[in-house]
Structure 1
Amino acid sequence: MNTSALRLALVALLGLTTLQAQTPPAPAAPTAPVATPPADAPASLIPGHKGVPYLGKPHAIPGRIEAEDFDLGGEGVGYHDRTTKNQGLGYRPDGAPGIKGMTVPPGKKPWYKSNDGTPTIGWFFVGEWLHYTVDVKPGLYDIKLRIATPMHSKAFNIYLDKKLIAYIEVPNTGEYSEWVTVHQRAVKVTKEGLAVLKIQAGGMDLDECDLNWIEFVPANPMYINFL
């Protein structure tokens, strides 16, 4: 039997009509890896606000908020700073606002240290601001600021979800090492739940002020502020 006859017999036996060479499928093209954040990566808690709580959870109102613990997110999100350099000593290497240290470094003046030994925001100029994600219990509050400045005509504007709730004037304390507590009494806070607290330096004097903390304390109801 010749080759052609053998091939036809094989085709008939197998029930095939044609024999075709099978080309293996081409391997799938590799896909670029997609970066996924870790499960415990921080995320913004408030729609429309890209900031993330620095300590991992919102600050509580009522309560005290350390000024240096402003939101993560950088310029225009967690803060606004007129300079791009952190003039401080490294508590927040991610943040441009100048943060003064917990102790007096060798060769530095004592105004680098706050009365209670905690870091503070320094070089806080008019127009600059800080954002904090907060969890608010509505109520009547005295709003307190711990400040120091040898400058005149300073003030702070306090906003809650872009609404001005307090305007607190700041006196000349004599030195950056001389700290005083200023306040506005009986501020009615109607917001409940998560919100963005904004602290903005204001006043007529364009020079700087230092800020240690802001505190919301339940107020005596005999005082009422209608701001």
Structure 2
Amino acid sequence: MMHKKSITFLISILFFGITKINALPIQKVWVKGGTMLYNKKQISVNSFEISKYEITNEQYSFFLNGIEVGANGVFKEMQLINVGSIDLQLEFINGKWEPKLGFENYPMVMVNYYGASQFCKWIGGILPSESEWIYAAKGGIKNKDFVYAGANDLDKVGWYKVNSNKHSHPVGEKKPNALGIYDMSGNAWEWCRNDSLKSASDFCIHMGGSWFAGEQPSSIAAHYGNTPMHFSNSVGFRVVFTATSLISDQNFFKNYTGKPWNNKPQQIPGKVQCESYDLGGEGIAFHDSDTINSGSGNLNPADGTFLNEFRIHEAVDISYTKSGAIDNSPYNLVEPTMGELYAGWLIPGEWINYTINVNKTGFYTVGLMYTASGVGGISLMLDGKEFVAEIIIPSTKHDKEKIDWRQWHHWNRLDSLATFKLKKGKHVLTLKTIYNGNMNYDYLNFKLVE
């Protein structure tokens, strides 16, 4: 039994939190699409989300540890960071990356284009295109044609050669632009996406100037760049996220048309089976990165059986636990039931909706039965409101496992990930993947705190 004071403390953290710029997940700003003058032409820019701040050393350290990058800074034969530079504000201590003391909230620098791109992929985003970056820096539909991002006076909005004292500064210390985005002029240059990149000798743009640059390079109109392997103590990045119906439609849940699987809302307290998501299809009941079910009908060939063909024509990837040294692995932390359906192949940005019925108002804990071949993360929403912004999912990877694909099949159960209050009645629960841990989800288990 949990003491009432403990419950109150947990709730205060979950709902009121501790305001902290460098805390994960990435704080985002919604950028409503519109038009702007670009390369002497009027162009349209689609809606997107963008990180409110430049990516920090603390955030990048978390990423490096999540994908298990060693002291050499190499991932899949690609050098991501310049480990030999004294200007790298990270250090590798006891097998883990950490920001140097006092530099947690500084913009991540000494990261090349590939290192920036890998972070974006892991978090479910991409680097901004040149047009997206400019549109956001101008203030989107709130554009006032400032020279810099948020003002005509660079001192108000950016750290640059004149006021920086020859070093970068913690993100978010200057005034934001009209959209509430910080440091798009000065502090650190920001890599932009090159969709035609083919080799390490190609040119990649970075925008916005830096603590080292003067006024002209910090203007929104300025264009600079380098090769994708370039490292600098004044070049960093931020992330953009593609708009989906879940975030772009303010009335999404008010006008929700999804229907519960088998016309039966899943009951709370109890288990929410992850494969039994709502009916309604892409953009309503779920968002998946492609249209193919990687499990039913593919990994599990269509043969007329229920398990192999479960929801075969839907994009959410479904499989089931199997014996034969697959899911009955000696490296399981918790033994799964054989023949149990689960949602798999989850990547950041994908989400699934479940119609639930809460039978009693009260405080609940949530647990998860899962696998993860790397450190990952999820968030939970109720009727469109995020009530658990971030749950870190520990890796179930085992060093003694000799077959790579079986790292996806080491099962574990976390019994109490978070505590929160739910109101009695019918709701829509959204499970969203926010960090790439190569995860499979069997069920969420909601328990009433007595």
- DSSP-derived class of the 2:408 partner: coil
What residue is the counterpart of 1:13 in the other structure?
none
What residue is the counterpart of 1:200 in the other structure?
432
What residue is the counterpart of 2:336 in the other structure?
115
- Say whether residues 1:93 and 2:312 are aligned partners: yes
CA contact (8 A) 2:321 2:327 kept: no
Q: How many Å separate the matches in 2 of 1:102 and 1:52? A: 26
- Say whether residues 1:186 and 2:419 are aligned partners: yes
What residue is the counterpart of 1:210 in the other structure?
440
Equivalent AA in structure 1 for residue 314 of structure 2: G
Q: How many Å separate the matches in 2 of 1:207 and 1:185? A: 19
Over 3 Å counting, the alpha-carbon distance change for 1:193 and 1:52 in structure 2 is same
- Say whether residues 1:141 and 2:357 are aligned partners: no
Q: How many Å separate the matches in 2 of 1:160 and 1:186? A: 14
Equivalent AA in structure 2 for residue 110 of structure 1: I
Q: How many Å separate the matches in 2 of 1:178 and 1:115? A: 9
Q: CA deviation at 1:185?
A: 3.6
What residue is the counterpart of 2:283 in the other structure?
76
Equivalent AA in structure 2 for residue 96 of structure 1: A
Match of 1:160 among 368, 377, 382: 382
Equivalent AA in structure 2 for residue 129 of structure 1: W
Structure 1, residues 82-101: CA drift from partner, whole Å, max 9, x if none? 01100112211242111013
- More displaced 10-residue stretch of structure 1: 109-118 or 133-142: 109-118
CA contact (8 A) 1:147 1:212 kept: yes
Q: What TM-score, normalized by structure 1, do the two folds share?
A: 0.68
**Count of paired positions:** 168
- More displaced 10-residue stretch of structure 1: 137-146 or 114-123: 114-123
Higher helix content, 1 or 2: 2
Unaligned stretches of 5+ residues in structure 2: 1-252, 297-308, 330-334, 398-406
Which of these two proteins has the greater Rg computed from alpha carbons? Answer: 1
- More displaced 10-residue stretch of structure 1: 51-60 or 177-186: 177-186
- DSSP-derived class of the 2:263 partner: coil
- DSSP-derived class of the 1:68 partner: coil
Q: How many Å separate the matches in 2 of 1:184 and 1:170? A: 9
Equivalent AA in structure 1 for residue 336 of structure 2: N
Q: How many Å separate the matches in 2 of 1:100 and 1:188? A: 32
What residue is the counterpart of 1:176 in the other structure?
408
Q: What TM-score, normalized by structure 2, do the two folds share?
A: 0.35
Higher strand content, 1 or 2: 1
CA contact (8 A) 1:134 1:194 kept: yes
Equivalent AA in structure 1 for residue 426 of structure 2: L
- RMSD value over aligned CA atoms? 2.2
Structure 1, residues 127-175: CA drift from partner, whole Å, max 9, x if none? 10100011113211110111101112x1110111111122321011012
Q: CA deviation at 1:184?
A: 2.1
The list of structure 1 runs, each at least 4 consecutive aligned residues, that deviate by more than 6 angstroms after superposition, is none
Structure 1, residues 62-103: CA drift from partner, whole Å, max 9, x if none? 110110000011101111000110011221124211101354
Larger relative contact order (CA 8 Å, sep ≥ 6): 1
What residue is the counterpart of 2:449 in the other structure?
219
Q: What are the equivalent positions in structure 2 for 1:13-24 lying under 5 Å apart? A: none
CA contact (8 A) 2:373 2:437 kept: no
- More displaced 10-residue stretch of structure 1: 54-63 or 174-183: 174-183
